[in-house]
Amino acid sequence: MQTTSTFFQKYQQEHFLDVAIDPNELAPADRPEPGAKYLPQTYLIHSTPEAITVLKTLPVGKPAVKEFEHDYPKVLENIKVNLASHSLNQPLHAEWEAFIASRPKTIEEARACTSLPKWNWPMRPSAAVAGAAAAAAVNDLSAPRRAAMRAAVAATTVVEQPRTVSDGLTADGAEGRAAREERTRADQERTLLPLEPNSFVMVRMNYTNAGGCQIPLLLAQCPADFGRLDTTNPKSMINLLWWEPKPGVGRYDGDWQKWMASRGVQCEEAVEREAIALARVGFTRVAELAGGFRKLGKPTRRSLLGLEQAKYGEYSNDSGQLG
């Protein structure tokens, strides 16, 4: 069956296995929460041939034949001049004479030449051939191998390669454009703001103890000088001065006090930039309150209410008043 379509495929094989070293290499839906622990993981891309129309209609007739630029009789004369006529060269002379005799000498002869292209090239891949090959591949696998493959796939993220080809007729590439736009939006959402010296931030916590304060985000203060540190790099280590909620059970809308270590020194510890869930934290007053306490301002508390990971409703008394 004649067709004006062919196929393109993103990867050379139907299943392409790769390793995502960075979570941003994964599709947005498969990425972990910002700041969550991440280990490199395998992912399997399922890539199938995409049909695309390359010609609006099938060609009709034969292509025009260019005017001849070769004078075959003169070619034969040159051969006889440059290839000495003796018994050793007789077979070569015979080959050249037979070759030239079979060449068309006029445009009419060329148009009738059966060696010119025909518009009946086989398409690849053939649906029947591809289906038979897939069935043969499945049948060729022994039961243990199939079990091993199922186990490997179960532990691997499987991604469907979006159809990206566009021909202006039957394929519009909308699926590929939508996937690119979604990835761009996800990347922009994960883009980190630069931190300001001495500013306050809220940091995601990973508690190892079962009791005591379990508030998901803790207050901390940035250093007075970052030096040459890139505070938009998720992996940058930033030294912070820590604050804790009072009382120890912790409430976002309660009082916050400096977290003091032994000898009256405020606790200082470095965290990765991506562990900071909220930057530019504000308070009810610019200066510390009596007793060295601080209270989070209403705009900050409203921002925390919108952060699912903060669990503001569980760790505050005023969540119903911030609407």
Q: Is residue 221 part of a domain?
A: yes
**What is the C-alpha separation between 83 and 259, in angstroms, rounded?**
100
The answer to whether residues 131 and 248 belong to one domain is no
pLDDT at 211: 73
User: Residue 292, Cα to own-chain centre: how many angstroms?
Assistant: 48
Q: What percent of the chain has pLDDT over 70?
A: 78
pLDDT at 113: 66
- Give SS3 for 43: strand
Beta strands 200-204 and 217-221 are antiparallel
pLDDT at 256: 93
The answer to whether residues 10 and 134 belong to one domain is yes
- The angle at the Cα of 209, spanning 204 to 213, to the nearest 5 degrees, equals 60
Q: Is residue 204 part of a domain?
A: yes
The answer to whether residues 235 and 300 belong to one domain is yes
pLDDT at 1: 47
CA distances from 182 to 50, 164, 232 (A): 21, 14, 22
- The angle at the Cα of 271, spanning 28 to 183, to the nearest 5 degrees, equals 15
pLDDT at 226: 93
Residue ranges of the chain whose pLDDT lies below 50: 1
Amino acid 116 reads L
- The angle at the Cα of 236, spanning 232 to 238, to the nearest 5 degrees, equals 100
Q: Is residue 263 part of a domain?
A: yes
The answer to whether residues 207 and 265 belong to one domain is yes
**What is the C-alpha separation between 22 and 36, in angstroms, rounded?**
12
Task: Name which of 258, 317, 264 is nearest 288 in CA terms.
Answer: 258
pLDDT at 79: 87
CA distances from 319 to 69, 144, 210 (A): 88, 56, 25
> Could you count the other beta carbons within 10 Å of the beta carbon of residue 215?
22
Taking only the tens place, the pLDDT of each residue in 279-304 is 999 999 999 988 889 999 999 999 99
pLDDT at 189: 64
Report the predicted TM-score, pTM, of the whole model to 2 decimal places: 0.49
The answer to whether residues 49 and 80 belong to one domain is no
pLDDT at 140: 53
Q: How many domains does the chain have?
A: 3
The answer to whether residues 216 and 253 belong to one domain is yes
Q: Which domain holds residue 141?
A: 5-56+125-189
The answer to whether residues 257 and 314 belong to one domain is yes
Q: Pick from 189, 221, 236: which residue ends a domain?
A: 189
pLDDT at 117: 54
Taking only the tens place, the pLDDT of each residue in 88-112 is 888 888 998 888 888 877 777 776 7
pLDDT at 130: 60
Q: Is residue 283 part of a domain?
A: yes
The answer to whether residues 20 and 159 belong to one domain is yes
The answer to whether residues 281 and 170 belong to one domain is no
pLDDT at 99: 87
The answer to whether residues 170 and 279 belong to one domain is no
Q: Is residue 118 part of a domain?
A: no
Q: Is residue 116 part of a domain?
A: no
The answer to whether residues 97 and 209 belong to one domain is no
pLDDT at 206: 85
The answer to whether residues 171 and 272 belong to one domain is no
